[in-house]
Structure 1
Amino acid sequence: MGISNALHPSVGRQYGTYRFGLLGWLTAFAVGIALQMHQPELFAAWVYIFLTVVAGGVLAIVQVLVHRCLPQARSVFWPQRNFAIQAMAPWLMVALLGFGWAGMRAAWFAQSALPAALYGADVSVRGVVAGLPRVQDGVVRFRFDAETIGQEGDAHHQKLPQLIEVAWYAPSSTPFASKAMAEPHQDHVQFHVWPGQTLKVGDRWILTLRLRQPRGVRNPGMFDYEKWLWQEGVQASAVVRDPPNNTAPLWLGDSGGYRLDRMRQWVRDHLLAPRAQTNPSALSERSAGVLAALVTGDQRSIDQEDWEVFRITGVAHLMAISGVHITMFAWVAMAIVGGLWRHSRRCMAWQPAPTAALWGGLALAAAYALFSGWQVPAQRTVLMLGIWAVIRTAGLRWPWHATLALAACIVLLVQPWALQQAGFWLSFVAVGVLLVLAQRTQDAAKGSLSSHEHEKETPNFAPPNAAFATLLRGWRKLVRQGHQFWQLQWRLTFLLVPLTVSLFGQISWSGLLANLIAIPVVTFVVTPLGMLGIVLEPALWCATWCMEQLLAILHWIAQWPFAAVFWPAVPWYWAAVGLLGALWMVGPWPWWLKTQGAVLFVLMLTWRPAPVAEGEFAILAFDVGQGAAILVQTRHHSLLFDAGPSYRGGGDAGQRIVLPALQRWGVALDKLVLSHSDSDHTGGAFALMQAFPNMEVVAPFAQAPWAQSSLVRPDHQMARADRPISPCHSGVAWEWDGVEFAFLYPSHAQLQHWFSPAENGTKPPSNATSCVLKIRTRQSVRALLTGDIGRLQELELRMADAAALKADWLQIPHHGSSSSSSAGWIEAVSPRFAIAQAGFGNRFGHPHADVVQRYEDMGSIVVDSPHCGASRWQSMHPHAVVCDRLAQRRYWQRTED
């Protein structure tokens, strides 16, 4: 029942033209869920149950008793003069219902969290490998379905979360490519070497795990790892502890479960076989990974370079088995099933072709989603399409927006946390476009049928022979389907622009062309041949060859100028304005409404974040784990001090964190300062140099051969080029927008001494070569960035000019190591805020407790990234630091140290 039907009859007559119906219910329900997801802490479970029961009871009374059983009571419950109460009360109850329902689900799930007594504990856990293992750079990651922990009577014998995210690192003495070695141990197998590729889904193991609650880095507007694990049902992470200090991992054999995933793993390994060849081509290796992702849903098989190409060309949804991909697959499957169904008289006599196409396409899409991993976006999209199919089959003449609203409501009932997933909104728009296009196609089909009847009555229509008539009908059908595909694709591409700008900070201008090529090839050729290639080797060869050609085309398109542009990510309300404008532009509306839609769309694209004031600067210390990366912005310029670490499991902070953040915020770097050559400061530099080719690079190893720097890794071939680098040394200074920048350390003489060929062998440890940068406004608000200098370098700086060290904001030297931050240094700098960038639970103990105590004794406020996340500070407001982890506190975040 629509909301308008719940109002007084006079209200219904007065406002009858504004019937929001299910769309109003969806909006209110979604608002309630969104409010609950913004809670920093959960209420007790009984509070949510109470709210849900109250809201549901009030709605039931209003809908059933008042409006059906007791019409005479309307004047009592809904006096005509209180229209505001009449209009808002049902929506408020629906919003309260959404709040209570989401909170009840969250409170129930939180009860299975990792017990605090097990944080950091090494315990023996028996369980089953529950997800496809991923092997990369000497670490295998997988989901572990925990069954028991410890032994009966053991101090650690407690209930564990059902799913644990496990990382099993290869020992340094074990070659990454070696196979696992095992020896008999009674009826089982005891492993003494890292299993690597031999780990199979469905196997039961006894592992010694070091448990911890999931913890990820926190940066404003970026990927929330902790939220993602919460949505995936994972509430603990762990690292496998190996001998000799722990019991060797014990394999107990096949558990008999996870049969479908076990089959998926076999198929994935079969499709990835080209990678194991002696001399596979780079294109062959990459195409095998993409093919494995398309067939089995394991996107981790795709090379990072290819992901970048897919993102630029706007076809990433095809490779990620996203809601958009499932929707496109269902649309194509429906067309194929409907076409085949019409060729059978027996089938047509049993069920009409539209119904068979609807359910057949849905069944094929569900089967594909199931085999590709049955991931949350795929589940959500299949559910939405299923609801649409039920409504169509039942003959309900609902408008497309009511159908979509009902589907979204049911999805949010099943998965309330989907509201904060980008895939939910992308799927929502994609299914909506499909519904509109399906309605138009149905209307067009009726029109074409009338036209065909007219043609048959026209005497001039006389094809020369039956073969030509069949060919002509086939050609017309092909043109009509191509036109439908074009209509779907350009509308979908245009409508997704506001969402992609808001969610990803990007507009892919090449996306329409790339999708017109990629969707038919992937859907009609590569994916079917890849599935057939499981049993027929020639089909696999054909699929691989087609994928290679498609990759070559996409790589070519991605190299076009302006193939994709990075746009400042707009707030959600501006995205809503842009989406409304896009709907008006592509819909069957009058020209004046299309014009207004274009104005709204352009207004969204013109939004920009507020710039830094003239003569001021802002600092953002990224949360990159055990490393450093600090962004400094003036009104028209940006500098990055250090580029974050490289990670043992693959990738680096530049690629994963810093560059996506800069692109999302619309920031272009003018200067990159690498304080010294350690990998926890330079690991992400290469990705940044690729993204900003005109950026100036400054480093203390500028006079050393670039290829000999520890910055260069084997996979970074471009870094071996002679990249111009400016040296950082005292005396180098410049001014941006009224803000002064000056290097205080090292001196020019020290650089010459360290890197002179005649002084070979006298170079100090890399930490001692760190650049020290001072930033100062004309109002003498100052910041000091220090790299990894030690006490000796601190003493040199104090002796050179202690007064120049005064600062309001200080990067604590060497992440807060006990080898730095002497009492004399702290007294000379006297910072109001001291920032320590370090990894959570790092093995070095940074920041050291004694160092923190020294700063606090001097009156400084110590802010560390493990507890703060990314921190923001502005010279305009020097008395405040904003911590992203605290400012955006959510109940799924880790609370214990």
Structure 2
Amino acid sequence: MYATALRLAVWPRTGGAVGLGLLAGMALQLQQATLSAPAVYVAFVLLALVGYAWVASKKIVGLWRHGVAGLCALALAWGMTGLRAVLFMSQALAPALEGRDVLVTGVVADMPQATESGLRFRLRVDAGESGTGAALLDGTPVTVPALLDVGWYTTGFNLQTQTPELQRTPPALRAGQRWQLPLRLKAPHGSINPHGFDYELYLWTQGVQATGYVRATVSSPEPQLMEQTTAAPVAQLRQWVRDRIQTRVTDPRSAGLLTALVVGDQRAIERSDWDVFRATGISHLVSISGLHITMFAWAATWLVRRGWRTSARLCQWVPASHAAWGMGLLLATAYAVFSGWGVPAQRTCLMLAMVVLLRLQGARWPWPWVALWAAVGVLLWDPWAMLQPGFWLSFVAVMLLFAAGDATNSGAGGAGRAGARGLNGSKLERGWARLRAGAVAMWREQWLITLALAPLVLLWFGQVSLVGLLANVVAIPWVTLVVTPLGLLGLVWPALWTAATGAVVLLYAAMDALAAVPYAALSLPLPPLLPGVLAALGAALLLMPLPRALRMMGLVPVLALLLWRPPVPEPGEFSLLAADVGQGNAVLVQTARHALLFDAGPRYSLESDAGNRVLLPLLKALDVQLDTVVLSHRDIDHVGGAPAVLMMQPHANLLSSLEPQHTLQQLRASQRCEAGMRWQWDGVDFEVLHPDAADYEAEPAPKANALSCVLRISNGRQAALLAGDIEAAQEQRLVDDPAMLPLLRADVLLVPHHGSKTSSTDAFLRAVQPRHALVQAGYRNRYGHPAATVVARYEALGTHLVLSPRCGAARWHSAEPQNVACMREDERHYWAHDVP
């Protein structure tokens, strides 16, 4: 396949048609909601090969040749990508094994990552020479996916007693160790939210088809270390280096950055430092590793070329430029492997290899052709890279750097010759001229990259650094030429890590100062795909060597992107967005000019919560400023994300049933939610139905669920009822109050207590008569929510039950009360988890 494609590529126009056809075929296949039958993909591949043979054997010229070749390439890429997906999907975890304790033997495939709750690591299933099955269920061999993402926690949970259960302390795992572990597995399942991170696609591209955790309780089989293997030598070396850096470098910030740069462990960097990197626009140096590897290759190429030119014998043997390109590629690939050989690094090395191959062959293709076939080479290796921001950011940056490379070299050479003529060719003058020309060229390259990438960065991340140009001019050469080399050389001479620490301290000082500049970063709502793509094309037009009047036309889509704002409800209407936060509640309510957040989701760990992971990115992407935050009660699955939200929404009022001594009261003093509270926004009425003021003073003190705030929202035609975690007693009290009965009727009900069997009584549901009922619960959550008896009650009533594990984020609009839009269904892709 590849040989035929490359042979056709030597014919200029046909090569373009083939390249575009391959890209189009892969792009079309990635749009499939579900996979086709394997026979369909095989038929397209065979048809494409027959078409290629026919084109090659016939003397066809003109547009027919280009068109047929392009169509054959499209069919070939579509079929091959589909076959790869079908093959990978066939190895998925069987649904019957989910939630079962399976005894799995495998090798720790990468560096384990320490968390506050234990360890996370990748386990490659491999029984070795033990003679037993790699996976056993009750002593019977079963098949599990080849690569698992595993957690080993310090505490567990007993499903029978519904209480925490102490686990054996995780040992100091080492890469390459073979273990036999009792695992509880499930299919990869992540939250699906507007503009959110696609965790399921991430695991797909990583080759992971099941996640799980070690069942290391006293009632489970004891995990057994079987042997230390040589199955993961690079990972073992990386772990050894990581341990040395963290032992030798005492400054935590420096140790984290050096660990990320040397061995690719980005989790070693603190969240606050990531905030600085994003504000200054240099996070690509450690998070989008493709650009960093490209800069490393560029520096290596420049150094090899400089050294090679000092030897006439070497230049006669191999031209300096060829040696520099080849050695730069090899060194960059070695660094990429050592730093973890992640998917972005693989893409970048393939992209660089394509460009170097063209140069070594002396091909003088126009840069659009180089870009086209570099993209083809990368995507034939990994078609799903097309869906990831890192590919496009790295690809655009690499193309700009290579395109500017020739101009930079010729400019530096011209400046050096001019300086030599001006001062009789003195070495000092030549050196100064080259330094000056290099600085000018680097500034120009960074300016081009910043402008070209800005629309793409806004499209995917909603934020672009206004100080990024200056920050990158400082940080890229400093990190690439000083910090990273010192970090790598420290492996040979550890004393150099002291110098590297000093370099990192200087870098942080500069970046902290730039991040503190007012309006250091511009944040905008995330636009739809089409305006973002048009803006990127407009930015490219601005950079092209064209007449000024033509280039200025590129400003139109760029300004359109800057001025775009998400739609909001009309006056008198309101919308609900039930975020997919797992086991917890978080509902965003919007009117024409106001917004309210009902609950803030759970805390996932000491380092992660729904506020930082889901709600803040969502509010930022939708350009929402909250007027009020309602925290129904103190349970952690309702207030876990509140600190992050309140910190980033300083003007939002807080309404809650929290006790005065609650820690959140120190962050933002709250007003009690009491029955009878009312207000109106843009023609929409809000009213609190529960608890009563007297409930707060009851003796003995009621449970948190009994004090849960209940909020009714209505525009006179449609209504929504957000019930928090009230239970049967509170539901009955509402039903027994004649004044409350008319207020309980609602089109949409946030199901009380996530569908617990202690709530959603028959009397309450008959009073509410909901058309839609939203259940916010985690996939395979340990509480069993929603309970089967509760589901049966809603089904008997004819209510449309919306479960967040199956729906993802759910949208409801009062202008279309009959519909609930489920993001997992509306934006379905074949790699997404098909929840049973």
TM-score, normalized by length of structure 2?
A: 0.93
Q: Which moved more, 1:728-737 or 1:830-839?
A: 728-737
Q: Which moved more, 1:412-421 or 1:525-534?
A: 525-534
1:66 maps to 2:58: yes
Match for residue 744 of structure 1? Answer: 689
Instruction: Report SS of the residue matched to 2:111.
Output: coil
Question: Whole-Å Cα distance in 2 between the matches of residues 26 and 768 of structure 1?
Answer: 64
Match for residue 555 of structure 2? Answer: 598
Instruction: Report SS of the residue matched to 2:364.
Output: coil
Match for residue 73 of structure 2? Answer: 94
Q: Could you tell me whether the CA contact under 8 Å between 2:600 and 2:641 is conserved in 1? A: yes
Question: Whole-Å Cα distance in 1 between the matches of residues 13 and 528 of structure 2?
Answer: 25
Deviation (angstroms), 1:667: 2.1
Question: Whole-Å Cα distance in 2 between the matches of residues 513 and 448 of structure 1?
Answer: 24
Q: What is the aligned counterpart of 1:383 among 350, 353, 357?
A: 350
Q: Could you tell me whether the CA contact under 8 Å between 2:600 and 2:640 is conserved in 1? A: yes
Deviation (angstroms), 1:873: 0.6
Letter paired with 1:223: F
Match for residue 431 of structure 1? Answer: 398
Letter paired with 1:783: A
Match for residue 894 of structure 1? Answer: 833
Letter paired with 2:703: P
Deviation (angstroms), 1:839: 0.5
Question: Whole-Å Cα distance in 1 between the matches of residues 17 and 412 of structure 2?
Answer: 32
Q: What is the aligned counterpart of 2:168 among 173, 193, 198?
A: 193
Deviation (angstroms), 1:880: 0.6
Q: Which moved more, 1:679-688 or 1:514-523?
A: 514-523
- Give the alignment of 1:49-64 within 5 angstroms: 49-62=42-55, 64=56
Q: What is the aligned counterpart of 1:133 among 112, 115, 118?
A: 112
Letter paired with 1:762: P
Question: Whole-Å Cα distance in 2 between the matches of residues 820 and 481 of structure 1?
Answer: 70
Letter paired with 2:470: L
CA RMSD of aligned residues (A): 2.6
Instruction: Report SS of the residue matched to 1:228.
Output: helix
Instruction: Report SS of the residue matched to 1:537.
Output: coil
Match for residue 408 of structure 2? Answer: 441
Instruction: Report SS of the residue matched to 2:376.
Output: helix
Letter paired with 1:805: L
1:339 maps to 2:306: yes
Q: Which moved more, 1:648-657 or 1:142-151?
A: 142-151
Letter paired with 2:822: C
Deviation (angstroms), 1:744: 1.4
Instruction: Identify if the C-alpha distance between structure 1 residues 810 and 154 changes in structure 2 by more than 3 Å, giving closer, same or farther.
Output: closer
Deviation (angstroms), 1:773: 0.9
Instruction: Report SS of the residue matched to 1:872.
Output: strand
Question: Whole-Å Cα distance in 1 between the matches of residues 14 and 526 of structure 2?
Answer: 32
- Give the alignment of 1:301-316 within 5 angstroms: 301-316=268-283
Instruction: Identify if the C-alpha distance between structure 1 residues 23 and 432 changes in structure 2 by more than 3 Å, giving closer, same or farther.
Output: farther
* Structure 2: tracts of 5 or more residues without a match: 128-132, 158-165
Letter paired with 1:776: S
Question: Whole-Å Cα distance in 2 between the matches of residues 768 and 860 of structure 1?
Answer: 25
1:784 maps to 2:776: no
Match for residue 744 of structure 2? Answer: 805
Match for residue 163 of structure 2? Answer: none
Q: Could you tell me whether the CA contact under 8 Å between 1:566 and 1:664 is conserved in 2? A: no
1:793 maps to 2:786: no
- Give the alignment of 1:82-231 within 5 angstroms: 88-148=67-127, 149=133, 156-171=140-155, 193-196=168-171, 198-231=172-205
Question: Whole-Å Cα distance in 2 between the matches of residues 442 and 536 of structure 1?
Answer: 34
Match for residue 775 of structure 1? Answer: 713
Q: Could you tell me whether the CA contact under 8 Å between 2:412 and 2:433 is conserved in 1? A: no
Q: Could you tell me whether the CA contact under 8 Å between 2:654 and 2:671 is conserved in 1? A: yes
Question: Whole-Å Cα distance in 1 between the matches of residues 820 and 670 of structure 2?
Answer: 33
Instruction: Identify if the C-alpha distance between structure 1 residues 520 and 445 changes in structure 2 by more than 3 Å, giving closer, same or farther.
Output: closer
* Cα deviation code 1:592-649 (max 9, x no counterpart): 1221112232123222332222211111101111111111111222211111100137
Question: Whole-Å Cα distance in 2 between the matches of residues 153 and 789 of structure 1?
Answer: 40
Question: Whole-Å Cα distance in 2 between the matches of residues 87 and 809 of structure 1?
Answer: 56
* Structure 1: tracts of 5 or more residues without a match: 7-15, 174-190, 712-718, 755-760
Instruction: Identify if the C-alpha distance between structure 1 residues 825 and 117 changes in structure 2 by more than 3 Å, giving closer, same or farther.
Output: closer
Instruction: Identify if the C-alpha distance between structure 1 residues 2 and 161 changes in structure 2 by more than 3 Å, giving closer, same or farther.
Output: closer
Match for residue 643 of structure 2? Answer: 686
Match for residue 230 of structure 2? Answer: 256
Instruction: Identify if the C-alpha distance between structure 1 residues 538 and 351 changes in structure 2 by more than 3 Å, giving closer, same or farther.
Output: same
Question: Whole-Å Cα distance in 2 between the matches of residues 745 and 555 of structure 1?
Answer: 47
- Give the alignment of 1:281-296 within 5 angstroms: 284-296=251-263
Match for residue 431 of structure 2? Answer: 474
Deviation (angstroms), 1:589: 1.6
Match for residue 374 of structure 1? Answer: 341
Q: What is the aligned counterpart of 1:40 among 33, 43, 48?
A: 33
Deviation (angstroms), 1:113: 1.5
Match for residue 508 of structure 2? Answer: 551
Letter paired with 2:831: W
Q: Could you tell me whether the CA contact under 8 Å between 1:729 and 1:748 is conserved in 2? A: yes
Letter paired with 1:699: S
Match for residue 802 of structure 2? Answer: 863
Q: What is the aligned counterpart of 1:764 among 702, 715, 725?
A: 702
Instruction: Identify if the C-alpha distance between structure 1 residues 813 and 408 changes in structure 2 by more than 3 Å, giving closer, same or farther.
Output: same
* Cα deviation code 1:418-468 (max 9, x no counterpart): 11111111111011101210232344356557746xx64xxxx445xx8xx
Match for residue 184 of structure 1? Answer: none
Instruction: Identify if the C-alpha distance between structure 1 residues 60 and 601 changes in structure 2 by more than 3 Å, giving closer, same or farther.
Output: farther
Question: Whole-Å Cα distance in 1 between the matches of residues 155 and 710 of structure 2?
Answer: 37
Q: Could you tell me whether the CA contact under 8 Å between 1:506 and 1:566 is conserved in 2? A: yes
Letter paired with 1:833: H
TM-score, normalized by length of structure 1?
A: 0.87
Deviation (angstroms), 1:152: 8.6
Deviation (angstroms), 1:96: 2.1
Q: Could you tell me whether the CA contact under 8 Å between 2:587 and 2:597 is conserved in 1? A: yes
Deviation (angstroms), 1:150: 5.8
Deviation (angstroms), 1:32: 2.1
* Cα deviation code 1:658-699 (max 9, x no counterpart): 111221222222221111111101111111122122222221
Deviation (angstroms), 1:742: 1.5
Instruction: Report SS of the residue matched to 2:701.
Output: coil
Question: Whole-Å Cα distance in 2 between the matches of residues 745 and 873 of structure 1?
Answer: 23
1:853 maps to 2:798: no
Deviation (angstroms), 1:298: 0.8
Instruction: Identify if the C-alpha distance between structure 1 residues 229 and 207 changes in structure 2 by more than 3 Å, giving closer, same or farther.
Output: same
* Cα deviation code 1:65-104 (max 9, x no counterpart): 223xxx5xx7xxx8xxxx7x77755433332222111101
* Cα deviation code 1:528-553 (max 9, x no counterpart): 11122233332112212321232233
Match for residue 322 of structure 1? Answer: 289
